[in-house]
Amino acid sequence: MGLLSRAVLGGTFDRLHVGHEALLAAAFDHAKEVGIGITTEEFFRAPGRQAKSGGVRPFDERRKELETFLEQRFPGRTWYLIPLVERWGAALEPQTKALVVSDETLPVGELANRLRKRHRVPALTLIVRHAVLGEDLLRVSSTRVRVGRIDRTGRRLLPIRVGVGSTNSVKKAGVEAAFRALFERTPVTVEGVSPGGTNPQPWGLEEGFQGALRRATLAVKGGHDWGVGVEATIFQRRKGGPMFDLHCICVLGADGAHLQSASAAYPIPSSVAREMQGRRTLEEAVRRTGGPPKVGHTTGGALAFLTGNGISREEVIANAVRLAFVPLLARRAERLPDVDVLRPPRG
């Protein structure tokens, strides 16, 4: 299909960065005419918005920077700027045919279409430009540029801070190995965060992932860029069948990213499995069959003990944490489309 007659988008456009440029390019790729809304000081005076204006440059500075960019990047194209004093700008006007949004603001586009339907105005095509990721695999944003974590291209300027929802040195070592492999050229600091109290041995995937999420939620707090929860759980295909040990992984980003994965599962030897009846922990069961105290906290964990140091728990955790990042790595490697075009249903 050809270009739409008019697409609009809106934002603060503070400290113009590669994410802004990608949104604008998506608009010009799909429409003959592009309207660009820029938030004004009056917009930020509305209740509930004052906190978002901290550090944002004055409207005139942002407008001039954007105009210069548009003139250089899209010469000969038709565009106009809209000072935004409220959310919608030109999005509800009948002449507007498309709204350019990000993954994060897609709900705003869906709400705009509900409002248009209420006013008997044809629905918009939603052009969804997926997030541009920085060197740290977090979304490039004006806030992160403003505070000096990244530059406008997404290059990381500070070490990546990772929280692990555990004080277990084996889990921490596995997570650290994963992040150092993921970000070979960027310094990484990894800190253990106490999950508080003791947890019963999880059984089944549901309990495992619930525990991992709780740990990751605690870990991402305190200014960490990424929070990681690792929860080992016992899995049985059927009652009385073989027991398997696997790790449930949850990774939360400071930008709202929510990633999950699971490690490879290994069968628990029958003599150890018998000691786990009554929901004893794997650590207790290994200790009762001749393993050292606190085997889960020793180098390599129970897995290293059982395999004579042939396989370590750290490497299992490291591989599982890296796998959680597959959706983001696919974006960075440009294996997936950058833009989705959601056209309204006909009729």
> Would you call 114 exposed, middle or buried from its count of C-beta atoms within 10 A (0-12, 13-18, 19+)?
exposed
Q: What is the pLDDT of residue 240?
A: 78
Same domain, 86 and 184: no
* Distance separating alpha carbons of residues 24 and 19, to the nearest angstrom: 9
* Distance separating alpha carbons of residues 164 and 191, to the nearest angstrom: 6
* Distance separating alpha carbons of residues 338 and 132, to the nearest angstrom: 9
Same domain, 184 and 316: yes
Q: What is the pLDDT of residue 14?
A: 95
Q: What is the pLDDT of residue 173?
A: 95
Nearest one of 220, 344, 225, 234 to 282, comparing CA atoms: 234
Instruction: Calculate mean pLDDT across residues 275-291.
Output: 82
Residue 221 lies in a domain: yes
Q: What is the pLDDT of residue 282?
A: 84
Residue 337 lies in a domain: no
Same domain, 98 and 200: no
Instruction: Calculate mean pLDDT across residues 82-111.
Output: 94
pLDDT at residue 295 tops 80: no
Q: What is the pLDDT of residue 52?
A: 66
Reading the block at residue 13, the tokens are 């456009």
Reading the block at residue 26, the tokens are 């998506």
Beta-bridge partner residues of 37: 10, 82
User: Given pLDDT bands bounded at 50, 70 and 90, which one contains residue 278?
Assistant: confident
pLDDT at residue 1 tops 70: no
Same domain, 292 and 176: yes
Nearest one of 172, 145, 132, 178 to 301, comparing CA atoms: 172
Same domain, 121 and 265: no
Nearest one of 7, 59, 51 to 33, comparing CA atoms: 7
Reading the block at residue 250, the tokens are 């949850």
Three-state secondary structure call for residue 190: strand
Nearest one of 306, 282, 310 to 294, comparing CA atoms: 282
Same domain, 122 and 205: no
Q: Backbone phi, then psi, for 217, in 5-degree steps?
A: -60, -40
Residue with token string 């509305």: 46
CATH code of the domain covering residue 223: 3.90.950.10
Q: What is the pLDDT of residue 53?
A: 65
pLDDT at residue 87 tops 90: no
User: Given pLDDT bands bounded at 50, 70 and 90, which one contains residue 233?
Assistant: very high
Residue with token string 């042939």: 310
Instruction: Calculate mean pLDDT across residues 339-347.
Output: 87
Reading the block at residue 123, the tokens are 């629905």
Three-state secondary structure call for residue 229: strand
- Please report, as a single letter, which amino acid is at residue 23: L
Same domain, 90 and 187: no
pLDDT digits (tens, 9 = 90+) for 28-56: 999 999 999 999 999 988 876 665 667 89
Same domain, 105 and 64: yes
Same domain, 244 and 99: no
Q: What is the pLDDT of residue 51?
A: 58
Q: Backbone phi, then psi, for 275, in 5-degree steps?
A: -75, -10
Which of these three, 129, 148, 181, is where a domain ends? 129
User: How many domains is the chain built from?
Assistant: 2
- Give the C-alpha distances (Å, rounded to integers) separating 168 from 140, 208, 218: 32, 17, 15
Range of the domain at 264: 160-330
> pTM of this prediction?
0.91
311-312-313-315 Cα dihedral, nearest 10 degrees: -90
Flag the least confident range among 4-13, 180-189, 329-338.
329-338
pLDDT digits (tens, 9 = 90+) for 7-30: 999 999 999 999 999 999 999 999
